[in-house]
Structure 1
Amino acid sequence: MEATWQYTGTEPVKIKKYLQSLGMGHRLFNDIKKGQGEFLVDHRPVRPTTKILPNQPLTIRVVPEIPDPTVQVSHDPLKIIHEDANWLVIDKPAGVSSIPGPTAGNGTILNRVKGYLVAAGAADLRPHLITRLDRFTGGLLLVAKHHVASSMISQQVQQHRMLKEYTAVVEGQLEKQHGMIDQPIARRDGQIQRVIAVDGQPAQTEYWVEEQGENWTRVRVQLHTGRTHQIRVHFASLGHPLIGDHLYGGDTSQVDHQLLHASKLSYKDPFTLEQLTFTSPLPASFKKY
């Protein structure tokens, strides 16, 4: 793949420092440096130690990754919200797993994206899921079409600068209209279920009440960390589990999976430097509430 940026600074800067400011990780830079690609300034190959001058274009060319033979191709459907040369934003239905695993077959989102890229004749056939969702959580997923995109956005993920908002319906009526749940989450004895524990990983979930019924509350939720089952564990710890969440004690009398939907995703595209924002409407399972 090939990508070009126009340097808009006022002072000369080394290629490495400039690419790091855009988000590129050390590993990818070193891979290109060691021969898995090349750096070009004004369309001429240059050494990695070269300095870029104001208004000069910097281009990187990188060889494609080897496809993962363990990820099979699936031609099951994908609902694509956005696509460009580097990204796919997918609206995942509840019931479909994000990646292959012991309980997931070959129809996961990762398998489907690989199948989509194969059908499109793409050179890069090793997509990277930047965000993931539980099997029975639907909504927006960001997929990098190649490892350069994955590397360039890694800082946003690690520093929690990517906005991820969810809609959830929880049992009962929350006392506060707005709150921050700040409780560490841990895994115990190899179980799928997570627990609140003092020795767990830090986890922060912010919420806003948007609508209330007699025995339910619809909330808008923003993640400030990305722990497994974070929203489900945090609301269960308040005594308000998600409706339909059998794993954390939610009422399953009317729905067979947790009412949780990844409704908004916003990130800064490291290639165009634009802030991109996408939304997903609530699925039919939410309508009765």
Structure 2
Amino acid sequence: MRVKWTVGSQHPKLLREFLRKQGVSRKLLAKLKVEGEICLNDDPVRVTVPISEGDQVIIELPPELRNEQVVLSDKPLDILYEDEALLVVNKPCGVASVPSPEHRDDTMVNRVAAYICDQDYYHQAVHVVTRLDRETSGVMLFAKNGFIHALMDHQLRKRTLDKLYVAVVEGQVTPDYGILTFPIGRSQESIIERIVDDSDAGKPAKTEYWVREVREHLSVVDVKLWTGRTHQIRVHFAHIGHPLIGDDLYGGHLKLLQRHALHCRQLTLAHPLTGQPLHIVADLPDDLQTLIHENNQKY
């Protein structure tokens, strides 16, 4: 993959400093010298050369090989957006994001690996930027190479990459807008479960929500995470007495739904190469549509 920039009026003196400012790590710079290429106005150069306004800077990223230990899955991939840098897919519920001892052959990584292989892309490695719990559906972001992955991780750390979730919870949530800031820690009774933990072991967690729809026995809420604790949405809403429908781990009932009612509906980010805003939406799956609009019974 070739990445190109035009040097602006406010620029560092040397090419090396310019590339570092664009997010090129020292490790990648060293790799480019051996396996890739660095050009200034189409001429291969060293990173110690000076640059001027209007110069064209190009890097040729070295290829990334496929991890042969990742099994290729023949299951379908629902692509929401794709370009030379990013791949955004709609993850169905019940499919794990990444391989584990319990889920080796058909995770989203396996499906994306197969797609990349079928397309015969220059970069064959899979880079997961955002992941979802196995029973959570919705938008999931992959980077096409390690450089783009690093740029997206920077957006995650700076919280300029936003994910908006839709949750269907038990009961009528009040007030209709709120911010939950209960610290979250591990349960001593389970390696999976998380709890609200006010001790020093609890980590800060911030969840913002807006109630969008209310039924007799349920509420539909939009949720934004300001931190990324494990099971954060599920733990916070269970703590205020409104567990997600179908979330039996945190007290939700299973009568209306056999998985927790959580969907990552939209992703907003700045494109890593152009800086242009991207807004990607995954429609609610059928099971949540049915839950919201056709069920008004008590669990």
Normalised by the length of structure 1, the TM-score is 0.94
Aligned equivalent of 2:281: 279
Give the equivalent residue in structure 2 for 1:70: 69
User: 1:23 touches 1:153 (CA, 8 Å); kept in 2?
Assistant: no
3-state DSSP of counterpart to 2:39? strand
**Preserved contact between residue 137 and residue 259 of structure 1 (Cα < 8 Å):** yes
**2:99–2:109 Cα contact (<8 Å) kept:** yes
Deviates more, 1:62-71 or 1:276-285: 62-71
Partner-residue secondary structure (3-state), 1:52: coil
Question: How far apart are 1:31 and its partner, in Å?
Answer: 3.3
Structure with the largest fraction of strand: 1
For residues 46-103 of structure 1, give each alpha carbon's deviation from its aligned partner in whole angstroms, at most 9, with x where no partner exists.
2223333212111111212232222111121000011111111101111111111122
- Cα distance in structure 2, aligned partners of 1:169 and 1:212: 10
8 Å CA contact 1:118–1:125 kept in 2: the answer is yes
Q: Does the aligned pair in 1 maintain the 2:11–2:18 contact within 8 Å?
A: no
In the alignment, the residues of structure 2 paired with residue 127 and residue 115 of structure 1 have an alpha-carbon distance, to the nearest angstrom, of: 10
Q: Secondary structure at the match of 1:3?
A: strand
Partner in structure 2 of residue 85 of structure 1: 84
Read off the aligned partner of 1:247 and give its amino acid letter: L
| CA distance, structure 2, for counterparts of residue 52 and residue 219 of structure 1 | 51
Matching of residues 1-289 of structure 1 within 5 Å:
1-33=1-33, 35-189=34-188, 191-197=191-197, 198=199, 199-287=201-289, 288-289=291-292
CA contact (8 A) 2:71 2:104 kept: no
Residue 234 of structure 2 aligns to a residue in which SS?
A: helix
AA matched with 2:7? Y
State the identity %: 38
CA distance in 1, matches of 2:175, 2:14: 50
Change (3 A) 1:82 1:13: farther
> Is the 8 Å Cα contact of residues 169 and 259 (structure 1) preserved in structure 2?
yes
Displacement, 1:146?
Answer: 1.3
One-letter amino acid of the counterpart of residue 258, structure 2: D
Contact 1:244 1:252 in 2 (8 A): yes
Displacement of 1:25 in angstroms is 4.1
The one-letter code of the counterpart of 1:262 is C
Query: 1:153 is paired with a residue of what secondary structure?
Result: helix
Instruction: Indicate if the aligned counterparts of 2:75 and 2:111 stay in contact, CA closer than 8 A.
Output: yes
Change (3 A) 1:69 1:59: same
Deviation at 1:177, TM superposition (A): 1.3
For the 8 Å contact 2:12–2:18, the answer to whether it is kept is no
**Cα distance between partner residues in 1 of 2:243 and 2:3:** 45
In structure 1, how many angstroms separate the alpha carbons of the residues matched to 2:213 and 2:44? 58
- Matched positions, count: 288
Give 5+ residue unaligned stretches, structure 2: 293-299
Helix, strand or coil: the match of 2:168?
Answer: strand
Gaps of 5+ in 1: none
How far the C-alpha of 1:125 sits from its partner, in A, is 1.1
> Measured at CA, do residues 97 and 28 of structure 1 come closer, stay the same or move farther in structure 2, by a change above 3 Å?
same
CA distance in 1, matches of 2:141, 2:52: 34
For residues 118-176 of structure 1, the C-alpha deviation after alignment (integer angstroms, 9 at most, x for no partner) is: 11111211110100001110000111121121122221011221010000011111121
